[in-house]
Chains A and B, each alone.
Chain A
Amino acid sequence: MTEILRVENLKKSYDGFLAVNGVSFSVEQGELKALIGPNGAGKSTCFNMLMGQLKPTEGDVWFDGEKITGKLPREVWRRGVGRTFQITGTYQSMTVIENVQMALMSHHGKLFSIQPRAWKLYREEAFEFLETVSMQDQADRPCSILAYGDLKRLELAIALTHRPRLLLMDEPTAGMAPSARVELMQLVADIVRDQGVSVLFTEHDMDVVFAHAHHIMVLNRGELIADGNATEVRNNPQVQEVYLGGGTLFKEAEDA
C-alpha cells in the first residue's frame, strides 16, 4: 500500500494555547481511517489544517509526495482532495443537482464561461453522482428545503465529483438519525472499496467508527494518544482512561 497523506509534527497555537500539539500520522491509499477524540480534542482544528482552511503554526502536510502546507483550499482541491464539513455548506439558492453541476463546472474549468444554459451542463454526469448517494429522486428540489441528512449525502456527492484520491469528512453523520448514520457510513465504505479512494473522517458515534474504520486514531488535548486497528485502540489503556476513566471500552461494538 502506498502512502497518500502524511502529516508531520502538526501544531496550531491560539495565543499560546496549543489546540493541536505535534500530531504526526499517515493515511494509506484505499484506507478508511477515523480520527476520534472527546470534544475540544482538536479534531476539527487538525482537519482544517489539512486542506488549508487554517494555517498550521508548525509542521507539514504532504499529499501524494507533495508538500501542501499553507496552500489554499482550492489549490489542495485541484490536487485531488475533497472534503465535507461538519456544518454543511451547500448552495441554498440552487437545486440539488445544480450543486453537483457547480462542482463539475469547476472541475472542468468552466468557471468564467458565459456559454448559455448552465443548468444543462454536465447534468447526466451529475445525476450519476446523485445516484451514488441515492439522491436522484430529489435532484430538482431546491437545496434549501432538504432534510439535514440529505444535505450530508449531497455534500458527499459534491465531494466526489472531481474523483478525489483523498476525502476528508468532518463528522459526516453528525445530526443524523441512527439508521441513517449506518447507511451513510456503509455508503462511504463502499466507495472506498469500489473506487480506491482514501477517507479520513472524524466522528463521535463509536458504533460508526468501530464498524467501518480500518484504522482509528485517538486525539486528546491536541495530542495523538493512539493509532491502530479497532482492537488495539480498544485495548489501549490511555484511550480507556480518556473515554471512560478506566473500564472496558465499547463492549457492545465488540459483541456486535
Chain B
Amino acid sequence: MAFLFAQFLTGLANASSLFLVASGLSLIFGVTRIVNFAHGSFYMLGAFIGVTLMEILPGHFGFWGSILLTGLAVGVIGAFVEIVVLRPIYRAPELFQLVATFGVILVIQDLALMIWGAEDRLGPRAPGLRGVWRIFGEPVPKYDIVLIAITPFILFALWYLITKTRVGVLVRAATQDREMVGALGVNQAWLFTGVFALGSALAGWGGALQLPKGGADLLMDFNIIGAVFVVVVIGGMGSLPGAFIAAVLISVLNVLGVTYIPQSTLVLMFVVMAIVLIIRPYGLLGREEVAGEHGQVGAPETPIRPYGPTGQAVIAALLLVLAALPLVVDQFVLILMIDMVVFALFAASLHFILGTGGLVSFGHAAFFGGGAYAAALLVFHTGTPMELAFLFAPLAAGLLALGIGWFCIRLTGVYFAMLTLAFSQLVWSLAYQWRAVTRGDDGLVNIWPSDWLSETIPYYYFTLILGIGGILFLRHVIHAPFGYALRAGRDSPRQAEAMGINVKRVQYAAFALAGVMAGLAGGIFVFSKGSVFPTELEIAASFDALIVVFLGGVKTLAGGVVGAGFMTMVEDWLTRLEYWRLLLGLVIIAVVIIAPEGIVGSIRTAWNKYRGTEEEIAK
C-alpha cells in the first residue's frame, strides 16, 4: 500500500511538467487553431537551454532563476517562429499550418544537434532538494514533493490569467470567435503572437522543470509530443482543468503501468485516450465542436473536372515516359521510382479521405503498414505464395479500416484525427511487442516476390500497373456519384442529411476504401523491400503522408501524388548531406510560405491569373 502511494506521488510529480507543456499546446490550438507539432521541440529547447543556464548560474537562485529565464527564452523563440513561419500562412486551408510546424521540428532538431551535440545531458539536481523524504517508509525524492506542491499553483495562476484578466478575456473571446475579436479592434496578429509565445514558454518551463528528474536529449521532442496530444485530447481541447486532470491520469497510469504491466507502456495512454473518446467524443471537459463553427478558412475548393484533352495528353505522355524508363535508366533510379509510386499511392489514399472526405487522419500508416505486415506474416509463417499473400495486403488493411473506422467515424475534426492516431499506435505496439509473431523490431525479413517478379524491371512494371492503377481508380471514384456524396458530406453535413444522404455511412465506406488502397501500397512496398519493420507503422510514417498531401495541395485532386513525388526527390537529394533535416525543414517551410495552397493549388492559381478563370474565358 505504501509502495502504491509512493508510485502515485511519482506519477503526480511527472504530471506537473506534462501539464505545463499540454496547457501550452491547448492554448495555442484554442486561439490560433494551429495543431502545433513543434510543441515538443519547444519542450526540448527548454531542457537544453535550462541545462546550459544551470551550468552557468550557481546556487538556489541560479537553479530557479535558470528555469524562469528558460521559459522566457523559449517564449521569445516561439514568438520568432510564429512571426516568421506561421503569420504568412494563417489564411491557408485549415490544418495546413501543421506542415509548417513539422518543418520547424526538423530545423530545431538539427540546430539543437549543432549547438549541444549528440550526447545526452544529465539534468543537475535541484540545490537543497537532493535527497529523499520517507513517506510511510517509502523513499520519495524531495524534488518530486516540491513539484507536486507547486503544480496546483501553476494551474491556479494559469486559470487566473485566463479567466480573470483582460488578456485572458481576449484570449477566451478569440478562442470562440477570432473574427469578432478582430472586428472589436483587437490586433489579432499580436494576440496570436502573444499566445504562441506564452504557449511556447509553458513548454520551455515544462522542459526545464523536469531536468532534475530526467535530462536533455535529442529524442525528447518526439517522445513527449504523443503524450502531450493525448493529454490535451483526453482533457478536452482548450480546457485547462481538463488538461490537468488528464496529465495526472496519464502520468499516474504510466508509473503504475511500468511497475505492473511493463509491456503496456508503449500503448497505455493511447488505449486510455481511445476509451475516453469513445465514451466522451470531446474529451473529459471539452465542448462539442460544431462543424463549420469556425468557418471555412481560405478560398473554397473549386468544382472538380476531369482533365481536358491537354491534361489527358500530358498524363498519357507521362505514363509513356514511365513505361519507357527501364530502357534508359539504371536499376538505382528504378528502385527510387518504385518507392515514389508506392508513396504516391499511399498519399493518394490519404488524400482521398482527407481532401475529398474532409476527415483528417493522423494514423493512416496503420493501413499501409498493416497491409505490409499482413502479407509478410503469411509469407513468413506459412510460406504462402507471393501472389496470394499480396492479395491479403489490401484485404487485411480494408478490414482493419472497417474496424478502426467503426469507432472513429462518429467523431469529427481534431478528435477524429487523434482517435485514428491512437488506433495506429495500438497497431504499431502490436507489431513492436508481439515478438512471437511479428519478431518485434527485428522485423520480418526474406519476403521476396515470386520468381517472375524477382528482377527489378518486372517488379517496376508490376508497381507501375498496380500503383498507377490504384491512383487512377481513386480519381475515378472521386468523379463518381460516391465521390460527390462524400464531398457533399464534407461541404455541408446538414444539407446532405436533409437530402437523404447518410453522411457517416458514406464516410465509413470511404475510410475503408482509403484503407484498402493504403494496404495495396503496403503490399507493393513489402515485396519490393523484402522486409517490413515496425517503423512503417510509426506516427512518423503517418505524418510523412500527411505532410506530402498538404504540400501537394489538399484542395486539388493531384495534390497527394505530386506532393509524394516532390518529397521523394527532395529527400533523395538531401539525405546525402550531414544536416539534411535542417535543409529539409527549411525547404518545407519555404514551400509552405511560397505556395500556401500547396504546390498544385498554387500552380493552378498562378495559371488562372495568367490565363483568366474558366468563367472569364467563357465570356
- A residues at B contact (CB < 8 Å): 51, 53, 72-74, 77-78, 82-83, 85, 89-95, 98, 101-103, 105-107, 110-119, 121, 141-144, 158, 161-162
Contact = CB atoms under 8 A, between A and B. Distances in A.
A97 to B, nearest CB: 10
B498 A83 contact: yes
Contact of A118 (B484, B490, B494, B501): B484
Contacts of A113: 480-482
Given A102-B488, A117-B479, A89 B502 contact: no
B481 A115 contact: yes
Contacts of B477: 114
B500 A116 contact: no
B483 interface: yes
B500 A74 contact: yes
Contacts, number: 118
Contact of A119 (B305, B497, B615): B305
A73 B484 contact: no
A148 to B, nearest CB: 15
A74 B498 contact: yes
Interface in B485-537: 485, 487-488, 490-492, 494-495, 497-502, 506, 509
Contact of A102 (B296, B497, B499, B502): B499
B309 interface: no
Contact of A112 (B301, B306, B479, B509): B509
B479 A116 contact: yes
Given A92-B300, A116-B476, A73 B491 contact: no
Nearest to B478: A118
B301 to A, nearest CB: 4
B480 A115 contact: yes
A112 B484 CA distance: 10
B495 A118 contact: no
B506 A119 contact: no
Given A78-B500, A106-B501, A91 B479 contact: no
A172 B128 CA distance: 73
A82 B480 CA distance: 25
Q: Is the interface of B mostly helix, strand, loop or mixed?
A: helix
B382 interface: no
Contacts of A107: 499-500
Contacts of A158: 495, 499
A117 B301 CA distance: 19
Nearest to B555: A93
Given A94-B487, A106-B485, A106-B501, A89 B495 contact: yes
Contact of B494 (A89, A95, A102): A89
Nearest to A108: B481
Contact of A92 (B296, B484, B502): B296
Given A105-B484, A111-B485, A98 B499 contact: no
Contacts of B499: 74, 77, 102-103, 106-107, 158, 161-162
Contacts of A141: 615
Interface of B: 296, 299-306, 476-477, 479-485, 487-488, 490-492, 494-495, 497-502, 506, 509, 615
A142 to B, nearest CB: 5
A90 to B, nearest CB: 7
B303 A98 contact: yes
A105 B301 contact: no
A111 B497 CA distance: 12
A89 B480 contact: no
B258 to A, nearest CB: 44
A123 to B, nearest CB: 13
A95 B487 CA distance: 12
Contacts of B302: 93, 142, 144
A83 B495 CA distance: 9
A93 B497 contact: no
Contacts of B296: 92
A93 B480 contact: no
14 contacts: A53-B494, A74-B498, A82-B498, A89-B492, A90-B491, A92-B492, A102-B484, A105-B484, A105-B485, A107-B499, A111-B485, A112-B482, A142-B303, A158-B495
B58 to A, nearest CB: 59
A73 B506 CA distance: 16
Contact of B495 (A51, A91, A115, A116): A91
A221 B500 CA distance: 32
A121 B498 contact: no
Contacts of B509: 112
A144 B615 CA distance: 13
B199 to A, nearest CB: 32
Contacts of A94: 303, 484, 487-488, 491
Given A77-B499, A93-B487, A144 B300 contact: yes
Contacts of B492: 89-92
Given A82-B498, A98-B484, 18 more contacts: A53-B498, A77-B499, A77-B500, A78-B500, A83-B498, A89-B495, A91-B492, A93-B303, A93-B487, A94-B303, A103-B499, A105-B484, A106-B485, A111-B501, A112-B481, A117-B306, A118-B483, A162-B500
A94 to B, nearest CB: 6
